[in-house]
Chain A
């Protein structure tokens, strides 16, 4: 009986896992190299279910990998390259130490490098797999492209990231793939739909970097190394799917437009082309030069099954909506003032078919100037502007983003200069029935349904009517304000009408209507004049007097308020009393 005695930790989960240090020794790599290899190959640490069993009875916290994964790593050709690199560094150090410069030169020329192409192919066997995993790489590339070239990472990496991101943005513009934008305090979130995949990425604001010390730059650089390779291949494929040239070339027409005399002022000759591309104002050249506006043939639709008819209809409706959204800004001409974030706005506007330009001194690639009469919207982010053109709207940048999220052109009045903006709502929140919805969202949804905005002014009026027994002064002022409000309202309504008509692509109704006599109430006019005088007098007061006046007024108002309160109480009491009496009578 008996047989050999079983030993502990020689079978079961203990043999399935390997600690990080052991794995490192097995691969004969240093810890940084091991980390890099794991990141590139997509092998991640694993938390075992029973740590004590795996850890041979010890409960010390350790990093574990699956043994099979490490065995898989043993076959990787890059491991050899890492070892080569180690030797190269050693030789280089030696040559430096001996001040053998020719040897240093020779070694540097033969620096061992490696390619990640086969890893990309291995990790993402199909294009769609890669596209699903692109979020990370986009975030990382956009992040690295905003880094200052100060030696936190290789300058070449930053340049490559910049190039790839510009290519990506150009693709999104040409494909009109953008869906949502959200300006947060962290950065700008974008969401695009590429080949049926929703892709979200985060772009940091420019120049907003403090370099945090608790981030491992080496790890991030390794991820970026992988992601740049991935994004490059994806870009290539995407460009070819749209019949675009890769690497991207500007359209010959737009290229000639962008040709300027003093290009050297902006950038070196070597960087000029990338700069022009990154200006995002010009369209790209296609492999087969087709007609400018090629009408896409609508695919015939066959109902697959009878029961799916409703779904089909829904789909169709959605598609139509999307098509409409894609052409949201078509025919509009934007001009960006210098204080607005140029790149983001240019990208967003071009994504929806708008034309965009900016001041020549802001960036290369501006196509028209402020003086252009055909500009419909000028985007301004300052309280007022001196020289205004009549035939264009001066709006704040939030309008553009809100329009995109609402999928319609919103009324511009809420976004005029110096106006307090309505809140910028997150498009990534999807409310279910019964959830709380901010009133602005309700309004936008109503607009989407095609309803006209309903003003809640009536309610206000009623309330004011009730509060009639307040002090005389207040009443007067209220009246005045009411009137002004009315005027503003009517104006707004007119503007809104015009706006809607314009968004629907109709030409404005130009009609001459017979004028109406305005009936003027002389008593009221007099009152108004008096009130105006009073207000002006208050405005002209000295600071000291104003202070005193305010105090007096405040005291008065307080008295009135207290009186009102008491009156209300009294009334309530009276009512109660009456009710009691009635009861007693009965």
Chain B
């Protein structure tokens, strides 16, 4: 393999120049590593050396060279490209690149130690180790990297080219000049303007910002005397109003409570954990009454929903239903005379005759006479009322008393209504179930007491009862799209 012949005459003169030239070139390559042309030249030089190793054989190129040369004009660039034979050069270059990729440099430059080793056979211990390693490998397969990772690994030994742009600084020249000038000035003792103004700057107010972002439910929040201090903003009221910073005064009416009920209604004495017998019974009675009322309402609805006995099908009705329309009935006969009557009535209207003059006069006179009679009667009645004065007076008194009573009643009703929950929305207020413990549920001591009811619910209902919020019910879950049932494949396979 060593000392291969090269046909290209261009390389001939290099052959004698020996190792010294190689070293020189190598040094050059160190300094201009990014200059591709130089590098290529270097490679060619290196390859022309007697110690250069080729990985591929070049016998085919020799054959091609031996054939007859074709004559072409060389005054045209096209022909240069077409007919100059550069395969050998390219092959060579490819070879160089291949070597670089695989070994990280040219083989010829490598020291012998890195290429060869003395094979003295395996020592026994090493063999054993190898066996043991194999055994381990079988067990611990996970330590080997995955094939996919191996494929993706960067296998070239040529280092990637440096990114020139990464080392470049935009406006480097200008910046350098500025820095130089600043240095000069500093040497003279001149402080730049910006630096001079630094102490005048306001310190960053970090605390103020924090205060703004403090949440309402922060457990460590601070309070102050809100009622003691007078309003802080004593700025011009006109300014405040115009800039929308002035708070609108609250109307007095809004401070009235919507109900007269107290905020906390204490449970009846029967609700004690260890109640007196009679008060406990009273509470139980109350709860019982509520239940009875509820039951009555329910029963009423049930009664209304029940089937009427008369509507139930009997043998007779079922038979009639079955025969409906099959047997002709004598309804037609009944209807016929009705029609005749109708005809007669119509005839009567048509037959009304015109009144004569005499008749009209008579009627008029009668009317006047009747009116006269009525007015006379009214007059006598009025005259008679003079004697009924006392009874009239008493009746008026009675009426007045009646209205007064009604007024009182209405007022009392209104008063009573004040304590009642109002109708504020779609739903009516529904009182909470009374908290009651039956006689056998009562605990003997505080330790065994089992609390009844929920305070949360009690508070919520109290708010509703006092008209602070409207009664609502929990929103029901509404499905927008219908559910579609699909049998899963796995399930289908089983059945």
Contacts and interface: CB of A to CB of B under 8 A. Distances in A.
A114 interface: yes
Contacts, number: 234
A62 B455 CA distance: 29
Interface stretch (A203-211, A446-454, A544-552): A203-211
Contact of A423 (B227, B266, B274, B458): B274
Interface string A324-349: 00000000000000011100000000
B247 to A, nearest CB: 6
Contacts of A200: 262-264, 266
B247 A424 contact: no
Nearest to B266: A428
A184 B273 contact: yes
Interface size class of A (residues with CB under 8 A): 35 or more
B90 to A, nearest CB: 50
Contact of A186 (B271, B444, B463, B467): B271
Given A163-B219, A186-B458, A211-B456, A425 B435 contact: no
Interface stretch (B185-193, B275-283, B477-485): B275-283
Most buried by B among A75, A143, A426: A426
A130 B227 CA distance: 10
Interface string B312-341: 000000000000000000000000000000
A189 B437 CA distance: 18
A94 interface: no
Interface in A93-119: 109-111, 113-118
A223 interface: yes
Nearest to B424: A45
Nearest to A159: B219
A157 B444 CA distance: 36
Given A160-B221, A215-B460, A424 B272 contact: yes
Given A75-B247, A135-B263, A61 B423 contact: yes
Given A143-B455, A202-B264, A121 B226 contact: yes
B425 A45 contact: yes
A162 to B, nearest CB: 8
A421 interface: yes
B456 A220 contact: yes
B251 interface: yes
A25 B7 CA distance: 95
A429 interface: yes
B459 to A, nearest CB: 6
B83 interface: no
A205 B223 contact: no
A122 B226 CA distance: 11
Contacts of B216: 113-116, 225, 228-229
Nearest to B250: A122
A120 B456 contact: no
Interface string A406-434: 00000000000000110111101100000
A232 B214 contact: no
Interface in A21-63: 35, 39, 42-47, 61-63
A113 B227 contact: no
Contacts of A209: 454, 456
Nearest to A167: B223
A46 B470 CA distance: 10
A142 to B, nearest CB: 8
Contact of A341 (B226, B279, B446, B470): B446
B472 interface: yes
Contacts of B457: 212, 214-215
A253 interface: no
B430 to A, nearest CB: 10
A72 interface: yes
A544 to B, nearest CB: 30
A246 B223 contact: yes
B219 A186 contact: no
A212 B456 contact: yes
Contacts of B70: none
B215 A45 contact: no
B300 to A, nearest CB: 23
Contact of B473 (A214, A237, A425): A214
B474 interface: yes
B254 A42 contact: yes
A185 B212 contact: no
Q: Which of B251, B437, B460 has the most CB of A within 10 A?
A: B460
Contacts of B221: 160, 232
Given A121-B226, A123-B250, A214-B457, A183 B273 contact: yes
Nearest to A203: B455
B452 interface: yes
A586 interface: no
A182 B351 CA distance: 94
Given A117-B226, A219-B469, A237-B227, A381 B447 contact: yes
Given A123-B255, A184-B267, A426-B272, A339 B447 contact: yes
B247 A122 contact: yes
Interface in B414-448: 422-426, 435, 437, 444-447
A182 B226 contact: no
Contacts of A228: 216-217
A187 B247 contact: no
Contacts of B248: 72, 75
B219 A397 contact: no
A368 interface: no
B116 to A, nearest CB: 57
A421 B460 CA distance: 34
B263 A186 contact: no
A82 interface: no
Contacts of B273: 183-185, 424
A187 B451 contact: yes
Nearest to B448: A381
B435 A47 contact: no
Interface string B223-244: 1111110000000000000000
A109 B451 CA distance: 43
Contact of B274 (A44, A72, A139, A398): A398
Nearest to A274: B219
A214 B474 contact: yes
A210 B250 CA distance: 40
Given A61-B423, A111-B213, A440 B445 contact: no
Contact of A232 (B213, B223, B258, B425): B223
Contacts of A115: 216
Contacts of A189: 264, 266-267
B455 A426 contact: no
A282 interface: no
B227 A127 contact: yes
B449 interface: yes
B226 A120 contact: yes
Contacts of B426: 61-62
A136 B458 CA distance: 12
A122 to B, nearest CB: 5
Contacts of A157: 217
Given A215-B460, A216-B460, A428-B266, A63 B247 contact: no
Given A75-B248, A160-B219, A438-B278, A185 B451 contact: yes
A185 B452 contact: yes
Contacts of A423: 272, 274-277
Interface string B51-93: 0000000000000000000000000000000000000000000
11 contacts: A113-B213, A123-B250, A182-B272, A185-B435, A185-B451, A185-B452, A200-B264, A237-B228, A398-B446, A421-B274, A425-B272
Given A46-B258, A396-B445, 15 more contacts: A45-B467, A72-B254, A115-B216, A127-B227, A130-B227, A143-B459, A183-B274, A184-B266, A189-B267, A210-B454, A216-B460, A225-B217, A236-B225, A381-B447, A425-B269
Interface of B: 212-219, 221-228, 247-248, 250-251, 254-255, 258, 262-264, 266-269, 271-279, 422-426, 435, 437, 444-447, 449-460, 463, 467-470, 472-474
Q: State the 6 A-B residue pairs at the shortest beta-carbon distance, nearest first.
A: A426-B269, A159-B219, A135-B263, A47-B422, A204-B455, A232-B223
